[in-house]
Amino acid sequence: MYSLSLFVLLAVASRTLAQSQPFGQCGGQGWTGLTTCTDSWVCVFQNAYYSQCLQVAVSTTTAPTSTGTTSTIKTTTSSTGTASTTSATVTGFPASAPTTPPSNLVGKTPALGWNSWNAYGCNINEAKVLAAASQFGSLGLQAAGYQYINIDDCWPLTTRNSTTKQIVPDPTKFPNGISGVATQVHALGLKLGIYSDAGSATCAGFPGSLGFESIDAATFNAWGVDYLKYDNCNIPANWSDSALPQNGDWYNSNSAIRYRQMTAALAAQARPVQFSLCLWGNYEVWDWGARVGHSWRLSGDSTPTWSYITSIISTAVSHISNDTFGAHGDMDMMEIGNGNLTIQEQRTHFAAWIMLKSPILLGTDLSLLNSTQLAIITNKELLAFHQDLTVGPPAAPFTPFASAPVTSPLEYYSGKSAKGTHVFIINTSATAATKTFTFSAVPGLGTSGTFSVHDMWAGVDLAGTYAASASFSVTVAPHDTVAYFINVL
C-alpha cells in the first residue's frame, strides 16, 4: 500500500469575485468557470482535468497496490497555483474487461429531466426532489416530455453497510430511502435518476462504486432507479491513465474500463438504466462513449455564464459527428433560472442544447421560473426537434452565403427532423449585423423550388415566399437565437 497525496491549491483571496460552491469545480484543463472557493473551502487539485472546492486543508487518499499491473506514476506540481499535472503510464489492463453495450431500451433520444445539483448542491432531501417531480406536472413540464427526476451527489451516508456492502441512503435526507422516492416518482408517471462515481468516493466524498459495481447496480435496480449519472472523482492510482492516448484506443484505457464495468453490471439487472458518463470530456470519450453509455459529458461543470454557453457550443460542434440515436454529447445541466443570464442568453442556452441534441436536465428550483422561462423550456417545436424519432444526428453548422464571416462559436446551423429542414441562427457578434442566409445554401434544400419560413419559437408562419436563390434576413437581439422550419411550397 502507498499513499498518493493530493495537492492543495490555495485560492487567492478576493472578496470581490464570485466563488465556486462547496464541492463545485474550481479548475482543470479547459475550465472557464470560477477558480476560487467560498470561505473555509479550498480548491484541491484532483487531476489535470479537475480541481474541486473541498473543506479539508490537506487530503490524502490511499491507493491499493496494483496486482497484475505495471504502474508508473509521475507527479509534478507548480507553486503558482496553476493545476499540477499527474501522468501515469499503466500497462496490463484487466484481461477480461466487459464489452457489454448499454441498454437499447432507453436513451434513444437525449434525456429530458431535472437534476438536483445546480439548484441545491449537497443540500438535498426527499421534499426537494418530490417538489420537482410535482412541479413537472403543475408547470406543464411532464406534458412537454420531461421525464427524469435525478438526484445528484450527497444522497447517502459516508460508509457502506458493513454486512451487505450496500450504499445506504442518508435517513435524515431520505427518510423513506431512495426506493420510497422512486415509488412516489413512478406513481406520477416519471422516472428516477441517481448518482455515483467510478472511483473510490464521489466528488463530495460519499461511497464510490469502483469495485462495487454489481452490488450497486443490483441495489439501484431493487430501488427502481432508471438513470445513473456516473462521475469521475477519486480514482485510485492504479486505475488512472496518462493524459496521452494509449495506442490511440481509449476504449481499452483504464478510464473506459472503469465505466465498462458498470455498464455490464447494469445490463445484468432487470430494469433498463439510462447511463450518463461524466468524465468531463476527457479520454476522447466521444469515440467510445456510445459503446458504454447513452451520453457523455463534453466538459467540466456548467456555469450560468455566457462564456460557458459559447465555449460548450464550440466544443459540442467539434464532436457532433459522433452523435446520433443512443449517443449524445452532454453539454451539462441547464442553468436557466440561475445566475444573471439575460432572457436572450437563456433562449440561446436552450436552443443550443436542443439543436445539438444534448441531454436537457433542468438545474434550478423550478418554483422560481417565471412564465417567459417556462415558455422557453416547454417550447413544443424545439422539443420535437430534440426528441425526433426519425433523425438521430443533431443540427450542424452551414455557410449561409458565399464568404460569410466566421465567428466563434459558429452562428448558422441546419438540421433535419421528420418534418423536414430547420435553420437555427445565434447572434454572437459584437457588431450590429442583420443575419442572412440564402435558401440554396441550406443543406438539402436544393437550387430550385419555393420556400417560406416558420418561426419555431412563436409557432407561426412568417409572411413571404422565397425562391431558392433568394435570401432571408432577420434582426436577432444580442445573444439571442432564432429557430426556423423551412416550408417547401
- The binding site for ligand NAG (CB under 6 A) comprises 18, 64, 66-67, 69, 94, 161, 163-164, 168, 236, 238-239, 254, 286-287, 290, 304, 321-322, 339-340, 343, 370-373, 427, 429-430, 432-434, 475-479
Q: Using the minimum distance from each CB to ligand NAG, give the nearer residue, 77 or 429.
A: 429
Q: Which amino acid is at 391?
A: V
Question: What's the min distance (Å) between Cβ of 429 and ligand NAG?
Answer: 5
- The C-alpha atoms of residue 419 and residue 388 are separated, in whole angstroms, by 9
- State the catalytic residue, choosing from 231, 323, 332, 480: 231
What SS3 string covers 242-277? CCCCCCCCHHHCHHHHHHHHHHHHHHCCCCCCEEEE
Q: Using the minimum distance from each CB to ligand NAG, give the nearer residue, 154 or 376.
A: 376
In the sheet with 42-47, reading across from the earlier edge strand, the strands are: 8-9, 42-47, 50-54, 25-27
Question: What's the min distance (Å) between Cβ of 38 and ligand NAG?
Answer: 12
* Cis bond upstream, residue 156 (ω within 30): no
Mapping DSSP to helix (H, G, I), strand (E, B) and coil, where does residue 231 land?
A: strand
Neighbour-count burial of 242, counting CB atoms closer than 10 A to its CB (0-12 exposed, 13-18 middle, 19+ buried): middle
Q: Using the minimum distance from each CB to ligand NAG, give the nearer residue, 95 or 463.
A: 95
C-alpha cell recorded at residue 245: 492516448
**280: Cβ–Cβ under 8 A, 6 or more apart, which residues?**
28, 49, 50, 232, 297, 299, 300, 301
Is 170 an active-site residue? no
Question: What's the min distance (Å) between Cβ of 405 and ligand NAG?
Answer: 13
Question: What's the min distance (Å) between Cβ of 63 and ligand NAG?
Answer: 8
Question: What's the min distance (Å) between Cβ of 478 and ligand NAG?
Answer: 3
Which letter, b or e, does each residue of 205-223 get, where b requires 16 or more Cβ atoms within 10 Å of its Cβ?
Answer: bbbbbbbbbbbbbbbbbeb
- Are 428 and 406 in contact by the 8 Å Cβ rule? The answer is no
- The C-alpha atoms of residue 276 and residue 259 are separated, in whole angstroms, by 10
Q: Using the minimum distance from each CB to ligand NAG, give the nearer residue, 95 or 489.
A: 95
Q: Using the minimum distance from each CB to ligand NAG, give the nearer residue, 90 or 445.
A: 90
Q: Using the minimum distance from each CB to ligand NAG, give the nearer residue, 123 or 321.
A: 321
Q: Which residues pair with 425 in a beta bridge?
A: 412, 482
Alpha carbon distance, N-terminus to C-terminus of the chain? 72
C-alpha cell recorded at residue 289: 462513449
Question: What's the min distance (Å) between Cβ of 310 and ligand NAG?
Answer: 10
* DSSP for residue 10: P
- State the catalytic residue, choosing from 301, 323, 388, 480: 301
Q: Using the minimum distance from each CB to ligand NAG, give the nearer residue, 247 or 371.
A: 371
Q: Using the minimum distance from each CB to ligand NAG, give the nearer residue, 69 or 452.
A: 69
- The C-alpha atoms of residue 483 and residue 220 are separated, in whole angstroms, by 39
Question: What's the min distance (Å) between Cβ of 243 and ligand NAG?
Answer: 17
Is 330 an active-site residue? no
Specify whether the backbone of 284 is left (phi greater than 0), alpha (psi in -120 to 50) or beta.
left
Question: What's the min distance (Å) between Cβ of 373 and ligand NAG?
Answer: 6
Q: Which residues are catalytic?
A: 231, 301
